[in-house]
Amino acid sequence: MTGREGGRSLLPFVSAVSLTCAFLALQAVTAAAAHRGHSYVGRTAQGQRIQLAVHGRRVGLLHVTVRLRCRDRSILVDDESGFQPTPIRANGRFRDHQSGSTDDVYLSGRLRGRVLRGRVRVTDRVGRVRCNSRGVRFTARRS
């Protein structure tokens, strides 16, 4: 292929497509950064990493790992992520409950300046066995 079709160069067309793709990719990155807002990273009382995002007056749980105690006395380590944002009230407090196919996640806390403090509780099922993390405290700082 010579890059020419019917005697005309494809270069202007390819350049326009390349510029359009680059522009759309930049817009997607900018939109994702704006959607994510400020990132807060910290640790739970179990020593696990927790990551949240605050955008305006909404907080979203991005990722947390929690150890749950099951009724058969086993331990389940649960990775949770991908939550819808929840509103932050005027006093900085927030409270949320979201459900998955087998699990429930309860998130509550308070935003004060650059610090988010609160509790996360996860309940899950493995077959017929129920598991519960109880309330696990966390502290996360704006990164």
Inform me whether the pLDDT recorded for 40 exceeds 50: yes
pLDDT value at residue 52: 97
Inform me whether the pLDDT recorded for 108 exceeds 50: yes
pLDDT value at residue 31: 39
Most confident of 2-11, 16-25, 97-106: 97-106
User: Scanning the structure block, which residue is given the tokens 């309330």?
Assistant: 135
The chain-wide mean pLDDT, for the chain, equals 83
Inform me whether the pLDDT recorded for 36 exceeds 60: no
Bin 73: left if φ > 0, else alpha if -120 < ψ < 50, else beta: left
Inform me whether the pLDDT recorded for 32 exceeds 80: no
Mean pLDDT for the stretch of residues 38-54 = 97
Mean pLDDT for the stretch of residues 32-50 = 83
Query: Hey, is 17 helix, strand or coil?
Result: helix
Bin 7: left if φ > 0, else alpha if -120 < ψ < 50, else beta: left
Percent of the chain with pLDDT over 90: 73
Contact 58, 86 (CB under 8 A): yes
Phi (first) and psi of residue 15, to 5 degrees: -65, -40
pLDDT value at residue 103: 94
